[in-house]
A and B are shown apart, each in its own frame.
Chain A
Amino acid sequence: GAVVSQHPSWVICKSGTSVKIECRSLDFQATTMFWYRQFPKQSLMLMATSNEGSKATYEQGVEKDKFLINHASLTLSTLTVTSAHPEDSSFYICSARGGLAGVDEQYFGPGTRLTVT
């Protein structure tokens, strides 16, 4: 139980285009999902907190107009990187809060490798 998936697992796009990444909780409902970014050999950095049916809360320094987050259902959150540039190339990881009864924990997706050329 408590499985989180991401799609795609990797994507290559050209500079200036937009890319959408999906995060799904497969066997539980997640009222809250989180998006992280991780550069090579660095730790995870929280980008935003996504709540179902409401606007996302962004961490300081993260451009909300560039990283659009939608959490339309209890099992799906999407991150759209708009007008991507090479510096946006990174490993994007989502997590979902919830899962097993009585366990308040975050479960992470496998990540999406974005390369902008």
Chain B
Amino acid sequence: LAKTTQPISMDSYEGQEVNITCSHNNIATNDYITWYQQFPSQGPRFIIQGYKTKVTNEVASLFIPADRKSSTLSLPRVSLSDTAVYYCLARGAGANNLFFGTGTRLTVIP
């Protein structure tokens, strides 16, 4: 399990694109990068997962450079409802344990 480092908090205005970068310098060859979103008093929700290059789904994009020592979650045109804590995790495929770091608290401002 690679340790991840993220900014503690970010603010953004509605309608803007938000990029949250996560550092995972010690990522292992078989580690995948997964992002979760958590609203207050709710369980985390899976957003996106990737191994390398770019992954896109209906809610976000994930950019992973060739060295895989970092990754960037991109949220297009955020709304107030995107205010939440975003967690980045790096773990091996099939690994049981998920260890959550501090996460990034995103606040979307009207």
Contacts and interface: CB of A to CB of B under 8 A. Distances in A.
Interface residues of B, number: 20
Interface string A53-82: 000000000000000000000000000000
A113 B41 contact: yes
Contacts of A36: 100
Interface of B: 34, 36, 41-46, 49, 87, 93-94, 96-103
Given A108-B45, A109-B43, A97 B96 contact: yes
**Of A36, A106, A113, which is in contact with the most chain B CB atoms at under 10 Å from its CB?**
A106
A108 B43 contact: yes
**Of B42, B43, B87, B100, which is in contact with the most chain A CB atoms at under 10 Å from its CB?**
B43
A105 interface: yes
A114 interface: no
A28 interface: no
B94 A104 contact: yes
Nearest to A99: B46
Contacts of B96: 32, 34, 49, 97
